[in-house]
Structure 1
Amino acid sequence: MTPGADPLAYAPDSVPHPGETLKDTLDALGIPQADLARRTGLSTKHINQVIKGTAPLSPDTALLLERTTGVPATLWNSLEAAFRTQQAREEESRTLAPHVDWLGRFPLAELVKLKILPSREKTATNLLRLLDWFGVADPDTAEDVWRSYRTAFRRSTVLEPNEYATATWLRLAELSARDLDTRPFSKSGLTSLLPELRALTLVEQDIWIRQLPQLCAQAGVAVVFVPALPKTKVSGATRWLTPDKVLIALSDRFKKDDQFWFSFFHELGHVLLHGKRLTFMDDSDNLSPGGTDPDEDEANEFAANTLVPHSYAADYRQLRARPMPFSRIEAFARKAGIAPGVVVGRLQHDAALDWKYGNSLKRTVTLG
């Protein structure tokens, strides 16, 4: 089934077993059960069990019924499959019913808003819908998958502070990325795109929100924008979907362009510098130097040096020594070819500018 499809949309409340159709067919043809048994070579007892639904209608029996009744074997097989599937669904519902409280761990209001669930009710039906959307068999399997995320992601806080909301955010990103067509990944191709990607910091959101995914798709990178969910602190994630396609997911948690663009180039740093087997989930803690993970420090350094290249290092040192008035920041931004808000964020991060100054030069980023 396609992830996100309604697992119950096509499932009727009850499905008759094929024996009912067989009985109606025999009655219409005027064939007694004993006569059918003689014609098929099956026992009268077995025919009676099939009619009562206590014995399955096998593919071999379906062929015999096709020959003796004229009803195609494919129809008998379809009736049997539909009946057994419905029985399995009913058993699954009974098995999952004690686990409906698991739904309460998720941001149900957001799931309804996103049309993933039709309501906030803790029912077996909603539990089945959510499991189908996540593409997992049951709650225990989902927990195992997310435990593996904790190992795969390079941050111990990967699913904090609310692991279920964060898992929802990541799933939204993965499903969005699947729908994006990308060329096979090319490290050299992505590297050559860096100047164009950096220049997008200068344009308005309605422009870069279209051009950024288009450019990255040329190098095998699926960039998706997923609004931050309540009780999550993720700013970005990098995950290899296939050897030729990598996902970069970005949120609008901080709502400002300096954080957004630094997060984006931080994720690009992971793509270009680190292995395809690794996956990264990044939050505000990742975007500070001196952490315990050298890969995160490398990604931070890559982002910083891409946004403010070494060729502008001397100019930036002068600006950092005396960032005020704001016209100095704007002049440096024009010379360096990046957005003034990005420069403000860098100065604030470097403690050259108080966090309460310069924020008017930042642009708001809102993804949803």
Structure 2
Amino acid sequence: MLINGFQPNWIQSPGKVINQFILLSNIDLKSISKGDLELLEKIKTEKEKININNIDTLSKIFGGSDEFWLNLQYQYDEHVERFSHKKIDPNFNEFKNIVSELKSEKWLPLTDLNYLDQINLKAFYGISEFQALESKTIVSNVLGSKLKTIGKYSVSDLNLATYIRKVELEARKQFGLSNVNWNKDRLLLKLGEIKELTNSRNILDTLPELINILNQCGVALVFAPTLSKTPICGLAKFLENGTAVIALTPKYNRDYVFWQTLFHEIGHLILHESEMIFCDEDDKQEGKASIETEADLFMFNTLLYPIDHEDLENYVDLRLIRRSKLEGWKEICKKARELNISASLLTGILKRMSLIPYSYYSDRHQNIL
């Protein structure tokens, strides 16, 4: 059998090769007998190996010589054996939960071999195959000393660094080969367009347009769930290539939280233009840092323009809202139209500013997912 000397750090099972043959050859599975389909399924799930007893069936369906099919299985088995004896970093067990989470979200290839998981994870973090897998190094590389602390919850620095790395990679995909750079002036001009999008009832439908507007300003927008022990609603970061990224999470799964967090993070980029990473937990933190208060005020005043947030208490008839939920909702809808934002978002702002209880009009908010 022909086995060359090249030893890659990846392998592809015969089952995956067969899947590719099916996709590329446009084979009609209905034309394959039940017994042959059962054989293909066993090979794909590695319940049966390719051998001299089934190669005729594979050649009949896909073509190829007996030697090709036997060599395919032989090479796979040989590489599995080789990888099973490869040295695993002493700290690899510390990363197993992260590997599982990244696999579940298709950020890492599926494999049952620890060595390949280790190689893929190092590639994900942007470190050499021969460099030690150490959480302190990864956290330092991704977060450095530029992370604004995020408060009272238990946070895993490694998980947070992993999430930020995911966000950075996704941001690269959005920009592709574009030479666009962070442009604060353009973003300031686009705030009205972004604000108008808050009237959409379906955020997922609005995301492509929102991403396009932000990309024009040199800002990537990533909407993705966090890993465990990273209880954040959003983050903002300037990247080394002269762009910026905002990540939003479905932590509370509410439309008004999405928009409040987005404009809060935009506020960080505009007001606090630096390389710091801004991570924000929720809307009820006590003892916020001054930069958080500034980002909140930016969010309020941008969304409530042309009124100042301090005038909201007099702008909306709060007594009517307390007296009659129905008439109060009509009042909120009327004022939301005047401000060109959704009634759900205005309701959320009233709650955020402690002008109405959080229990009011909960059924008027939209879920994101």
Q: Normalised by the shorter chain, which TM-score bucket?
A: 0.5 to 0.7
Letter in 2 for 1:343: L
When residues 336 and 356 of structure 1 are mapped into structure 2, their CA distance, relative to the original with a 3 A threshold, is: same
SS in 2 for 1:345: helix
Cα separation, partners in 2 of 1:248 and 1:159, compared to 1, 3 Å: farther
> Which stretch of structure 1 is more off in the superposition, 257-266 or 205-214?
205-214
**1:300 maps to 2:296:** yes
> Tell me, which stretches of 5 or more residues in structure 2 are unaligned?
1-7, 13-78
Contact residue 97 and residue 123 of structure 1 kept, 8 A: no
AA of the residue aligned to 2:368: V
Alignment RMSD (CA, Å): 3.1
Most deviating of 340-349 and 159-168:
159-168
* Counterpart pick for 1:263 among 257, 261, 285: 261
> What TM-score, normalized to structure 1?
0.67
CA contact (8 A) 2:222 2:247 kept: yes
* Structure 1, gaps ≥5 residues long: 1-6, 12-85
1:142-185: per-residue Cα shift (whole Å, max 9, x none)? 42231462621112559942333333322221111001225222
Match of 2:174 in 1: 180
Quickly say closer, same or farther: Cα 1:170–1:206, change in 2 above 3 A. Answer: same
1:328 aligns with 331
Does the 8 A contact of 1:315 with 1:332 survive in 2? no
Structure 2 SS opposite 1:151: coil
Matched, 1:191 2:188: yes
Is 1:123–2:114 an aligned residue pair? yes
Q: Is 1:340 aligned to residue 343 of structure 2?
A: yes
Task: Decide whether aligned partners of structure 1 residues 243 and 269 sit closer, same or farther in structure 2, where only a CA change above 3 A counts.
Answer: farther
Equivalent runs, 1:1-368 vs 2, <5 Å: 8-9=9-10, 93-94=86-87, 96-104=88-96, 106-118=97-109, 123-137=114-128, 138=131, 140-147=133-140, 149=143, 151-157=145-151, 160-181=154-175, 183-203=180-200, 204-242=202-240, 244-284=242-282, 287-288=283-284, 291-311=287-307, 314=311, 316-319=313-316, 321-322=318-319, 323=321, 324=325, 325-366=328-369
Give the deviation of 1:140 after TM superposition: 5.0
Distance 1:190 1:283 in 2: 24
The farther-off stretch of 167-176 and 264-273 is 167-176
Measured in 1, the distance between the counterparts of 2:307 and 2:158 equals 44
Inter-partner Cα distance in structure 1 for 2:339 and 2:288? 31
1:315 Cα deviation (Å)?
Answer: 5.5
Change (3 A) 1:341 1:211: same
1:159, 1:167 within 8 Å by CA — same for their partners in 2? no
CA distance in 1, matches of 2:111, 2:332: 49
Q: Distance in 2 between matches of 1:208 and 1:154?
A: 30
Deviation at 1:302, TM superposition (A): 0.5
Is the contact between residue 256 and residue 344 of structure 2 (CA under 8 Å) also seen in structure 1? yes
Alpha-carbon contact 2:218-2:243 (below 8 Å) kept: yes
Identity rate, percent: 24
SS in 2 for 1:338: coil
1:275/1:312 CA distance change after superposition, 3 Å: closer
Give the Cα separation in 2 of the matches to 1:301 and 1:213. 23
Q: Tell me how far apart the structure 2 counterparts of residues 315 and 163 of structure 1 sit (CA, whole Å).
A: 38
Any conservation in 2 of the 1:290–1:297 contact (CA below 8 Å)?
no
Q: Cα gap change, 1:347/1:102 in structure 2, threshold over 3 Å: closer, same or farther? A: same
Give the counterpart letter for 2:188 in structure 1: T
CA deviation string 1:39-60 (max 9, x = no partner) = xxxxxxxxxxxxxxxxxxxxxx
| Cα separation, 2, equivalents of 1:343 and 1:302 | 15
- Kept in 2, the 8 Å contact 1:329–1:344? The answer is yes
- The superposition leaves residues 63-86 of structure 1 with CA deviations (integer Å, 9 ceiling, x where unpaired) of xxxxxxxxxxxxxxxxxxxxxxx9
SS where residue 220 of structure 2 aligns? Answer: strand
Task: Find the aligned partners of 1:214 and 1:120 in 2 and give their Cα distance.
Answer: 35
Q: CA deviation at 1:196?
A: 0.4
Matches of 1:158 and 1:175, distance apart in 2? 28
Instruction: Please say which of residues 194-203 and 167-176 is displaced more in the overlay.
Output: 167-176
- The total of aligned residue pairs comes to 281
CA distance in 1, matches of 2:268, 2:358: 27
Greater shift after overlay, 305-314 or 258-267?
Answer: 305-314
Q: Deviations over 1:307-364 (max 9, x none)?
A: 1125265465242632342221111111111011111111112222221221122111
Residue 236 of structure 2 contacts residue 246 of structure 2 at CA under 8 Å; is this kept in 1?
Answer: yes
Instruction: State the Cα distance separating 1:240 from its structure 2 match.
Output: 1.1
Q: Shift of the alpha carbon at 1:264?
A: 0.5
Contact in 1 for aligned 2:160/2:230 (Cα 8 Å): yes
